[in-house]
Copies of this chain bind each other. A is one copy, B any other.
């Protein structure tokens, strides 16, 4: 576990900061006296700050990378400004806590990936298992940091793993209530359902989305995900019905055409996939919105939900 560093926002004037920061912008510039210096925008989760490094020999670090700095918090034009005394790129052995720098899923990506992978390995139908494992292998690298959205729910580093692994738990829970459901099929659908987002969004290894891709704009992650699934299904030699049913689960998981699904869910596992996807998105958005207000109050209207939310004052869960 990474050693905790001070949040930038807690550093007072003239105090020294030491730790890792994310580079949002960086360029070498020349002062009026001709001397060269570095002008940077650095950030952690708590704030974004302008920084100067007066040593004209230092190269500007790449945008989106993490640097280790020692710096003093000054003030310029009544705004905070960091004067960097030492700065270097990440080196082997550095133990950065990325969640101090950008919004991250609450669990480490490898732990979530393992949970998902182990569930996939336990699938009984060999063709189905081969499809899922192959798709997971293909996506493994990007899944480490891929978020699940540009804004809205799970727009955080490893958000796609977060969303998928939580849904996997819901899927298992629901299957215990409705034993006629094919649990392997449902879990396969959960694992696959948003993998199309990996190529729908442009994001960096911090999980920060800059834009939709051309493919994402023109096709959308439902159609993209179904196409990748079909390709892999053919590659592992799976039977047609299995491939078609999985494609159906992908394109139908938004339920209604106005949310992008060309077909509604036409068998129980496809329906449950849609419902637990809705559930997880709603829980994330509601909890996030409610975290910002006091008990007894309402949030502002939340546009994605078209309503205000209430945080109870006297109604409390059972104490632990």
A interface residues with partner B (beta carbon < 8 Å): 124-125, 128, 166, 169-170, 173-174, 176-178, 180-185, 212, 214-215, 217-220, 222-223, 226-227, 230-231, 239-242, 244-245, 247-248, 251, 257-268, 271-272, 275, 278-279, 282-283, 286-287, 290, 296, 298, 305-319
Contacts and interface: CB of A to CB of B under 8 A. Distances in A.
Report how many copies the assembly holds. 6
Contacts of A317: 181-185
B314 A239 contact: yes
A287 to B, nearest CB: 6
A95 to B, nearest CB: 29
B247 A309 contact: no
Among all A-B residue pairs, the 10 with the closest Cβ atoms: A173-B173, A257-B257, A124-B318, A218-B248, A182-B317, A169-B177, A264-B307, A268-B286, A266-B310, A241-B314
Given A183-B318, A223-B226, A279-B174, A310 B262 contact: no
A301 to B, nearest CB: 11
Interface of chain A, main secondary structure = helix
Nearest to A261: B262
Contacts of A310: 214, 217-218, 245, 266-267
Given A248-B219, A314-B241, A170 B180 contact: no
A182 to B, nearest CB: 4
A266 B226 contact: no
A166 B178 CA distance: 9
A215 B242 contact: no
A18 B302 CA distance: 47
A219 B244 contact: yes
A180 to B, nearest CB: 6
Contacts of A214: 241, 244, 296, 298, 310
Contacts of A231: 231
Contacts of A242: 314-315
**Interface-central residue, A178, A215, A262, by most chain B CB under 10 Å:** A262
Given A245-B315, A267-B312, A275-B282, A177 B166 contact: yes
A145 to B, nearest CB: 23
A278 B251 CA distance: 21
B268 A283 contact: yes
Nearest to A167: B177
6 contacts: A180-B287, A212-B298, A217-B266, A217-B298, A217-B310, A219-B244
